[in-house]
A = this chain, B = another copy of it.
Amino acid sequence: MNEKLTIYDTTLRDGTQAENFNLSVEDKVRITLKLDELGIDFIEGGWPGASPASTRYFEEIRNYELKHAVVTAFGSTRNFSKPPEEDPNLAALLAAKTRAITIFGKSWDIHVRDALRIELEDNLQIIEDSLAYLRPQVEFLFYDAEHFFDGYKANPQYALQTLERAVAGGAQCLVLCDTNGGTLPGEVATIIGEVSRHLNSLTVKTSVAPRPAEGEGGAELPVELGIHAHNDSECAVANSLVAVSLGVRQVQGTINGIGERCGNANLTSIMPGLALKMKHYFPAAENLHKLTETSRFVSELGNLAHHKYQPYVGQAAFAHKGGIHVSAVKRNPLTYEHIDPERVGNIRRILISDQAGRSNVLHKAKKFGIDLDSKDPLVSSILKKLKELETQGFQYEGAEASFELLMRKALGTCKEYFHLLGYKVISQKDPCALGPEEEVVEEATIRLEVGGELVHTAALGHGPVNALDNALRKALYGFYPQLEQVELQDYKVRVLASEHGTGARVRVLIESSDDDSTWGTVGVSHDIIEASWQALVDSITYKLMKDERQRQAEG
């Protein structure tokens, strides 16, 4: 086993610089919990004070107890015009009340002159005293050396001076950033080699002594190096791995490599490379079987299609098409696979056969507590139904409750708790009759048969789907009062194909919860209302079935 590393995720901050990737505060909280589950060491949550939403995230996340991850606030060195104690940026960082703070400063002389418009010496000053001011007030303090590689190429002496001052200010880790993403692996190797030699020589001369770790009893720690790469040359993963091989100990990146322009270094590829191939230890290395799930979760919350060809976690990452490959893979998977897909929670797919599907169905049945033999003809019929539904656009990741209902229907053990006779949903905009131009009115009417009784009712809502949801609940509460416990946690819509414009199919994913658990359901239709209806019906059916099973188990 090689040296222990630290994984630092910036999906919530640098990741959201990507085009078309925006997260609500709630999304950020859910991603934080998911990354904590995976074992990520540091989670950079945003730049406090930059927007009200950033500030609110830090308030929200304090309500959760994380298992391992340390939430980190990000910001810049102080403005030159004010001393650290009066700088609003540093004050906002402290107000976020995180255990870790990262601040970034300028390494490249032209940026100091052109962007900050201050003297080179003044920049060194604000790096050192911003860090020194924060140092006693926070447990972990990191320094991001922005544009370090470009800065070093332009003026190596100055770039090294900025690092020296960051060490003097008390930074625990100097993170070398390839901000523009233009540096190739050969240059990364050369520059990190020179930086390491320089920092070692300083330590030997003790002009910059190893810094005592505040709040931890004063034990001496070495200054660590970190890497923060961008993918503009398609080398961000390689640059990060090369950096680690040269002694860098903190790796920054994002899930799926999402980030500004071409993205950040992709932790989803870096972590398995480091753990499975370079044999480094870090806590998430033990949970890599959750990697594919985490990767898809982040895409889903960001409403981005998951990248099919993505290494390790993509749907095609272990898909075999060529006939020669397929038979060889079946004899010995290592002949055409660099790792076992299960190690990262992915599966092998043989594109012309249903082998992967069968084992998947059996695997799920076992999980749902359904007794199903691998030779049972029902397996084939479930698989056939599944393929049919997938062709229509159904997808059961994140909608396991719908998948369980599908199986139980095939087995004939799924009860119909109510029967739809009909619904009608109206959205009406009528500026003359209804008042201000913004006003839209939605009404749903519904007719159901429940336990032999006919129910016909109506409700209004915020939007047509909400109106239908309200009407359905209203119709059922009298029969099934436990439905009052069900809350809709999340509602997502994805347009499936662009070819038909506004007539395209949509997939609706709903996440519901009660006091005990959370479950996901799915619906697909040309009509968003009908797709939502399917997912709502599955959600309610699942709840009623779950409660019934529980009652049976208890008595």
Contact = CB atoms under 8 A, between A and B. Distances in A.
Interface in A427-482: 427-433, 437, 440, 442, 461-466, 468-469
A216 interface: no
B19 A232 contact: no
Contacts of A426: 424-426
Question: Taking the full assembly, how many copies of this chain does it contain?
Answer: 2
A94 interface: no
Contacts of A115: 324, 328, 331, 335
Given A110-B332, A266-B234, A525-B440, A316 B18 contact: yes
Given A424-B428, A530-B427, A179 B336 contact: yes
Contacts of A420: 429, 431, 437
Contact of A311 (B234, B277, B465): B234
Contacts of A24: 496-498
A319 to B, nearest CB: 5
Interface stretch (A119-127, A162-170, A200-208, A238-246): A238-246
B461 A503 contact: yes
Interface string A102-114: 0000000011001
A30 to B, nearest CB: 8
7 closest A-B pairs (Cβ-Cβ)? A182-B338, A488-B501, A238-B238, A462-B503, A466-B503, A422-B430, A234-B269
Interface of A: 17-20, 22, 24, 26-27, 50-51, 110-111, 114-115, 147, 179-182, 184-186, 231-235, 237-239, 241-242, 245, 257-258, 260-263, 266, 269, 273, 277-278, 303, 307-312, 314-322, 324-325, 328, 331-332, 335-339, 351, 353-355, 395, 397-398, 420-433, 437, 440, 442, 461-466, 468-469, 487-504, 506, 510-511, 525-530, 532-533, 536
10 contacts: A19-B309, A111-B328, A238-B242, A303-B495, A307-B307, A423-B428, A427-B530, A466-B502, A493-B495, A502-B536
